[in-house]
Amino acid sequence: MALLLLRERPDLRVVILEKSTSFPRRVGEATVEVSSYFLSRVLGLTQFLNETQLAKQGMRFWFANEHVQKLDESSEIGGRYLARLPAWQVDRSTLDEEVLRRAAAAGAVLHRPAKAIRVTLKPGGLQVIDWQSSEAPDRPAATPLRARWVVDASGFSCLLARQEGWFQRNADHPTTACWARWTGVQDWDSHELAQRFPQWSAACQGIRATATNHLVGDGWWAWCIPLKGGDYSVGVVFDQRRVEWSRDSAPLGVRLKEFLCAHPVGREMFAHAEPVAGDVKWRANLAYSSRHYAGDGFVLVGDAAAFLDPFYSPGMDWLSYTVTRGSQLILAGLRGEPVKPLVDRHNRDFTQAYERWFAAIYQDKYDWMGDFELMSVGFQLDLSLYYIGVVSQPVKQGGAALLQPVFSLPPSEGPYRLMRLYNRRLASMARERRRRGRFGRRNDHQRFLLNGFLPDNSTGRAVLTGLRHWLMLELTEGWRTWFRARTAGATK
């Protein structure tokens, strides 16, 4: 945000309060196409990313049922070749340090370590920030900061939303995560695995290791993200309505490894791996939002504004939209333009974007993501529509496309309703499969490898293929639930 503001108005006085003395590693390491565009083309970090981070090779999913005992018996979804558009697996500690360094070099005044304690908002006037500095860590600084605009980039702390009572949990999406950085994870592209499973190795002509590999189960998924230097970020996310986490007295890292190794692919990849001491984390009730995203004097960006779900890595996309749109709101206000209509539109667009993003992609997804056959259909449709409707926009329009969050424009009405419909239908079919003991029946010995996507009309073929497969599912089994009232997917 500081970089974008100072790029257009080098004369501005921008003050950054950063509470850490150095950034720790944090989750949010996988970028996708939109956030990669923002980092590389908008912020200008391409060279830094290429030199210090790993190029990401898409997403892969690994399934299991009672017939899967070995790695090559697990059903797989992923790419056959290398990714066509850039994305990176990033160590957030080094990335965040570089962005902060550039902001200071651009002219931002940096106080570090320092943190905001309370913000007194005054619409249309000067906002007052009580803060603590390193010189007085136990009491507020003698002189509060006063600024026309305050940007809340406090992440999950959600300083303004909690202070003002705007913070709201998403009760329809009760997910929990447990994660750590790991050493000793097996190399997905190793010679050893190629020798033991030659057909499995030859099936993918790209690189498996630098993809975001997902282990998937009934009501849960796990990510495995490689980081520069050899460590991995590995964690589990689960729907609290479907998965009961172990409550025994073993350390959290031990329970995390036991959970991962219950999956045959996890048993192979993490057999000799260990979480880094002191780096095992836990967070419950991940999804939340704010009732307000901006006002005449403040803007909420990134995780301080809202969070949906780590599946598909949407957090950095959300950051890209909130920062881009928020910076333009502030600059318009500083130019003397009427702020109220801009604030009203900002709040309307981001409220709608969050609600529709959740309803179209994430609501009840944990009901069906553990079934290979259903996931093959849903993933192809999700990804191809993301490319056609979302990724294509910055490719065509440049950074200006990031001024319009997903599902905020009238042309998105049709795709939103389509995505919401097939996600609901796949969830209904999953519940019926589970009732009939058929859930995950094809989770073994299947492989669904895609040739890749482009942000143009060629991806329309993938949409049509996905729709055809969805229709076949409806005709062969979906009819069982056509006239049945929807029941919550909350039963274990």
The CATH number that applies at residue 191 is: 3.30.9.100
Question: DSSP character for 303?
Answer: G
Instruction: Tell whether the model's pLDDT for residue 492 goes beyond 60.
Output: no
pLDDT band at 135 (very low <50, low <70, confident <90, very high): low
Q: Answer yes or no: are the C-beta atoms of 237 and 177 closer than 8 Å.
A: yes
- Report the pLDDT averaged over residues 210-238: 97
Q: Indicate if the pLDDT at residue 487 is higher than 80.
A: no
Residue 386, in any domain of the structure: no
Residues of the domain holding 75:
57-91+171-284
Q: Phi, psi (5° rounding) for residue 147?
A: -150, 150
pLDDT of residue 138: 66
Q: Indicate whether 36 belongs to any domain.
A: no
Q: How confident is the model at residue 456 (pLDDT cuts 50, 70, 90)?
A: confident
For residue 486, pLDDT over 60 is answered with no
Q: Count of alpha carbons within 13 Å of 143, Cβ hemisphere only?
A: 3
CA separation for the pair 281, 235 (Å, rounded)? 9
Residue 226, pLDDT > 60, answer yes
Express as a percent the part of the chain with pLDDT over 90. Answer: 93
What's the predicted TM-score (pTM) here?
A: 0.95
Number of structural domains in the chain: 1
**What pLDDT does 488 receive?**
46
210 occurs within a structural domain: yes
- Which distant-in-sequence residues (6+ apart) come within 8 Å of 397 by Cβ? none
Q: DSSP of 335-352, one letter per residue?
A: TT--HHHHHHHHHHHHHH
Does residue 490 have a pLDDT over 60? Answer: no
What's the pLDDT at 489?
Answer: 47
What average pLDDT does the structure give for the chain?
Answer: 95
For the stretch 288-325, pLDDT in tens is: 999 999 999 999 999 999 999 999 999 999 999 999 99
Asked if residue 491 has pLDDT above 80, the reply is no
| Residue 415 forms part of a structural domain | no
Residue 301: inside a domain: no
Residue 416: alpha-carbon gap to chain centroid: 19
Predicted pLDDT at 244: 93
- List of residues 6+ apart from 120 with CB closer than 8 A: 127, 128, 129, 130
- Residues 381-399, mean pLDDT to the nearest whole number: 94
Which residue reads 């939103």 in tokens? 416
What's the Cα-to-Cα distance from 296 to each of 11, 13, 95, 144, 350, rounded to whole Å?
Answer: 21, 18, 31, 20, 16
Task: Say if residue 137's pLDDT is above 70.
Answer: no
Whether 23 is covered by a domain: the verdict is no
Instruction: For residues 139 and 442, give the distance between their C-alpha atoms in angstroms, rounded to a whole number.
Output: 60
**Which among 37, 20, 43 is positioned nearest to 93, based on CA atoms?**
20
pLDDT at 440 over 80: yes
* 114-120: strand order across its sheet: 114-120, 127-133, 145-147
Mean pLDDT of 119-132: 96
**pLDDT, tens digit, 9 for 90 and up, residues 57-113:** 999 999 999 999 999 999 999 999 999 999 999 999 999 999 999 999 999 999 999
The verdict on residue 106 lying in a domain is: no
Q: Which of 46, 80, 38 is nearest to 201 (CA)?
A: 80
Rounded CA separation 49/314 (Å): 19
Q: What is the pLDDT of residue 212?
A: 98
Q: How much is the pLDDT for 485? A: 56
Distance in angstroms (rounded) separating the CA atoms of residues 359 and 273: 37
Domain-located, residue 109: no
* pLDDT score, position 483: 84
- How many CB atoms sit inside 10 A of residue 272's CB? 9
Asked if residue 387 has pLDDT above 70, the reply is yes
Phi and psi at residue 370, in whole multiples of 5°?
-85, 5
User: Contact, 376 vs 468, CB < 8 A?
Assistant: no
Asked whether the predicted pLDDT for residue 267 surpasses 90, the reply is: yes
Angle 319-232-363 from CA coordinates, rounded to 5°: 45
* Range 397-410 average pLDDT: 94
| Phi, psi (rounded to 5 degrees) for 140 | -65, 150
Query: pLDDT tier at 332 (50, 70, 90 boundaries)?
Result: very high
